[in-house]
Every structure is written in C-alpha cells, then in structure tokens.
Structure 1
C-alpha cells in the first residue's frame, strides 16, 4: 500500500518503519534535508532514533507534494497545535479517496477539537476516512522491534481492518475499534496524567502516589469520555489503561520526564529545553480543562497540572492540593 508519513520525528519515523516492515511502500516527509538524506542514504534517523537501522526500502523527501503523490494512506504525526496550519498547506495534495491516520495525542487549544475533527475539517474528508492509532507505544521500544500492540480506531470498521492488516508485523500487533472519541481522549488525557506522575516523582513521592494518580486519572478520562459519547470499555483497553500505564511508568515518556523536571523545580521553559521533544500534555492540559468546564466535568488532576504550568501553584502546593480534596465514594462519577 502506498503510504505517506508526514513526520520524521521519533514516532512518525518509527511507525513508518513498522509500515515498511509490513510490506508497504512508504515515503516519509522530513522538514530538514539532513534527516531526509540520513534516511535515504544511511537508513537511520540519528536525531530522533540513534542506533536504529531503518528498512532499506523506506524513503524520505522534504517535498510534501512528492510524499503525498499517489498515497492511498496518509499518516500524520506532528505536534497537535501545528496540525491545522500544516493541513491547510498539505490538503490540496490529498487524493479524494485518501485514508488519513492520526498518530497525534492532543486537543487543539483554540477550539477544543480532537485531531480527527481537525483533519475532517481541513482536508474535507468524511469521518469514515479518518482513523486514529493509540496505545502503549513508546517509540524507542517499537523502533527496537520489541513486542507492542496498539488500537486503530475508525467509525468505518472495514477501514480499521484495512489499516490493521497494513500495520501487522511479528513485533507490532494492531487491534481495531470503532470508538474514535474514546481512543483519542485516552491518548490525550494520559499525557496530562503523566505530567502529574512526573511531578510526584520529581518531588520524591513513592509508588503509592503514582498508583493513585494513574487510577484517579483514569476516572477523569472516563468522566469526560462519558459526556462526549465515548464507549466506557475503551478506557479499560490498550488505548486507555494500557497507554496510561506505559506513559506514566516509563522514563522513555517525554510527558512524565517533563513533569519530573517541573517537580524538581525547573520552570516550564527550562523543562522544555531539557525534554527537547514536544510534551503534548503541556498545551493539551489547558484545552482539556476548558473542554471539561464546558461540559461540567470535574478533572482535579488536570486542573492542578494546569495550575503548575501556568505558574499559579508550585509543585509542592500541587501535591498538597490533590491530597486535601474532600473524601468521596470511589466511583467514576466522583
């Protein structure tokens, strides 16, 4: 299957590798000529995946029109807040029958739109031709061809199955789902919860605190998902608790790492410089909180994370705020 991957970052390059290993004809769009050259001539992406050998058939170009030419499937993996302006430039090169797959885990700050919604709006595709991929997919591990699984969600189950077959390899197992809302929310909110877990880690708090944040973070995700029409069962699967566990537990997680820097006293600017790659939860947290307020949903962990990012509370005050909440019955509506 002719596939264009619009991103030469760590996850975009990794998923391009998965697709190439599965037998697809894959072209990666790289903004920087030196990265495109490294992929084409040395079969590596030293800036994002040092030490990983890429398939010899994987090609790269700096010309988005060339990458998109004849593509049956377009995979997009760029920072969430830059998606809309980039799509405005790329959309004229999309074919009418193109299927678009979003690897992005964020919510647009200006509109509260999920990434699949931005794609349908800017490219002019029906929801049946837009899919999302989500799950516990730490790029470095997948790039090393260690066992992993994920969920490909599309409202058209046949499209999801087509994409599932295109991405199946001995080390990467994709499942299908029709709950696009739930899969996207699970991916977006878990980044914010990982920031909170990182904060706790940076403060020297233990595994109990991590477990509390992950569990109650899942409850926040489910509450928002319920009002937005998600299937509650999605949050107990790979795109929910699976992604949450991986992102909150692994030192490879850029959102957890970013939160750890904040917990150790670094500013947002200093943490950004230290993390080097985009931690989607930083900007998405504000958008998610606004979305929750709009629908009357309580998300206390997200609210505290936003307070830290905006400089309204310190990391230590954040921990105190979360523990000082009034006791309630433990249920997803609490």
Structure 2
C-alpha cells in the first residue's frame, strides 16, 4: 500500500533510504535546510555532495519547509545527526497534521543526557501526536544501498506491529529488513560500533595488520555487549545485524567515515583538521564522550573506549594508547 513518507535529513543515508522508498512505490519528500541542495534534487535529480555518482528517482521531492515535508505523512523518518534530533523533533511537533509512525535511522547517544535517540524522540513528540517510534539500523553503507547492492538491516520496536510496518515499507529484492523488539540493544549497537570503528581505523593507520584488526573488533563487541546489557539490552542482539553485522561493515570499509577518521588519526593527522575536511558528521567522536561518561555512571569497564577517549579528548598519542591497552592486567575471556 502506497504511503506518504517524510525523510528528514538529505545526507547520504537519508537520500539512499528515500531512494529505496520511492522505488518501492511510496510518495516521498525529503527535507533539509539548504535551498541549493533541495533545488538540485528536484531539478537535476542528484545529490552530488553526498552520492556523487547516483541519479535519483524523479518522483523524489525535496523541500526546505518542514511543514511541507510532513503534511499528510503516514510515517516520518529521522536521518539527521544525533545532535540535531531533539531540536528537529521539537520543531516537528508544531507542524504535524497527522499521527504518523516515527522512524529513525540515526546512530549515536545524546550528549550530556546520554540518552538513546528513541528516548529523545519519545520525550519531544507527545504520545497523542505519534504512533510508535521504530529504530532502523544495521550493516549498511549508503553508497551501496544507492546502487541496489544487497543489504540486510533491522527494524526494532517494542511493539512488533510497528516494526513489521517499517519492514513492509522498505523491503524489496535488494533491501531486506528483519524485525526485533530489543530497541535498547539495537540502538546501543548502532551507536557504539562507531567508537570501535575509530579504533579500527587507527589500527590501520598505525600500520598494524589483520591480527590487530580482528582483536579490536572482537574485544570491541565485548565492550558494546557489556555496556548494552548494563543498559537493559538482550545480549543476543549483539550477535545480530545491528551488533556484529554493523560492527564488521563499519570497521572494515573505506566507506565508513568513522574508520576513515580513525585511519587519519593513526597516520598522525590532527582531529580538528580531520573533522573539518571530512564533509560529514563523524558520530563516533561525540559518541565516545557520551559512552565514556555513561560507563562511569554505570560502573562498566570499557578499555577500548577509554583509550579512544584519551586520544580524542586528552591528547594522548595513538600508539601509546594502543600499547597501554595491551599492557593491561591479564583477564579471562569470560570476563569480557
């Protein structure tokens, strides 16, 4: 059944998801705050700053007016940076004229509050203004989804009916959606894998080989699971698409901006210079700070996250931080 869907955020991932939805026969409007970008999508059917080689469907509409995007919407998909979620959600409430399903495909933790994105959305959008909030997450590069490469991700909601609704919206012969009811686990895996991707990139930039890369991913998954379980997640979620699946794709590919940022750190580049030249938000940098602070609150040990925090926020040398992890007291693997 054809649905009217507003996509908030015309970056690479928002544009790729909007393309999937249009190709699935839905009426889709994408919203952003840059007039030139909206005009490009509407007239040239491209978004060259984010997906330079992709021609977008002519049916995809773009606007800079939030009210225009969401009028009559059956579903609203957030794909804006984590730091913008609360303000955009607050603005949204004033212009909504339906009671849509709220979906988000952003990955991070809010600064200061350390809240998951769905928690922020539930706070800002009153219950009488929305249906449920559904998380869309998993191993997926926008560049590959945009060219219809085979991709599988997860739609998570405490209410399975809404996860299945999102599954129906997106699923086709190249984009497969699995459902899950563990919202905490899916969101935690999505956010924290970006931290480990920074570390994996740094390992590469330092010149270490496959052994080191396997080590940081495996021990990184242990950290993600440990913090996630402390937050109330099902540990089995972390061996699924939004756990180990997302971790692998983000820690091993040049498509990953977090991996690229880490690689440049390992090669000796300055963090401010890296972020200025990246052209897109590197969510792992802010998530590292939030996760580090949250781990202190919950008394959960996260040695890789702590090492990356020391590099990003305390000017620790990358190679020294890696050496200090290796010289920690011996542990049993069963201790995580």
Give the alignment's TM-score, normalised by structure 1: 0.97
- Secondary structure, aligned partner of 2:333: coil
Within the candidate set 230, 235, 238, 1:227 is matched to 230
Corresponding residue of 2:19: 17
Q: Distance in 2 between matches of 1:88 and 1:231?
A: 30
Secondary structure at 2:113's aligned position in 1?
coil
Partner of 1:103: 105
Aligned to 1:321: 324
Match of 2:194 in 1: 191
Aligned match for 1:201, one of 200, 204, 207 = 204
Residues 36 and 60 of structure 1 are in contact (CA less than 8 Å); yes or no, is this contact kept in structure 2?
Answer: yes
SS in 2 for 1:152: strand
- Over residues 184-225 of structure 1, what are the superposed CA-to-partner deviations in whole Å (9 max), with x where a residue is unaligned? 000001000000001111111111111000000000011111
- Asked if 2 retains the 8 angstrom alpha-carbon contact of 1:202 and 1:264, the reply is yes
- Mind listing any 5+ residue stretches in structure 1 that lack a counterpart? none
Q: Which residue of 1 aligns with 2:280?
A: 277
Please say if residues 21 and 169 of structure 1, whose CA atoms lie closer than 8 Å, have aligned partners that are also in contact: no
- Asked whether 1:236 is paired with 2:217, we answer no
Q: Secondary structure at the residue paired with 1:34?
A: helix
Q: Which runs of structure 1 show a deviation greater than 6 angstroms over 4 or more consecutive aligned residues?
A: none
Report the 3-state secondary structure (helix = DSSP H, G, I; strand = E; otherwise coil) of the residue aligned with 1:186.
Answer: helix
Is 1:128–1:156's contact at 8 Å kept on the other side of the alignment?
Answer: no
Instruction: Give the corresponding residue for 2:169.
Output: 166
The CA RMSD measured in Å over matched residues stands at 1.3
Separation in 2 of the partners of 1:128 and 1:326?
49
Rounded Cα–Cα distance in structure 2 between residues aligned with 1:155 and 1:296: 27
Report the counterpart of residue 181 of structure 1 in structure 2.
Answer: 184
Q: Give 1:95 shift.
A: 4.3
Partner of 1:34: 36
The corresponding residue for 1:60 is 62
Higher mean C-alpha deviation, range 54-63 or range 121-130? 121-130
Aligned residue pair count: 333
Q: CA deviation at 1:96?
A: 5.3
Q: Which residue of structure 2 aligns with residue 74 of structure 1? A: 76
| C-alpha contact 2:72 2:98 (8 A) present in aligned 1 | no
Instruction: Please say if residues 74 and 98 of structure 2, whose CA atoms lie closer than 8 Å, have aligned partners that are also in contact.
Output: no
| Structure 2 spans left out of the alignment, 5+ residues | none
TM-score, normalisation: structure 2: 0.97
Deviates more, 1:82-91 or 1:209-218: 82-91
Moved more, 2-11 or 227-236: 227-236
Which residue of the other structure, out of 115, 118, 130, is the alignment partner of 1:116?
Answer: 118
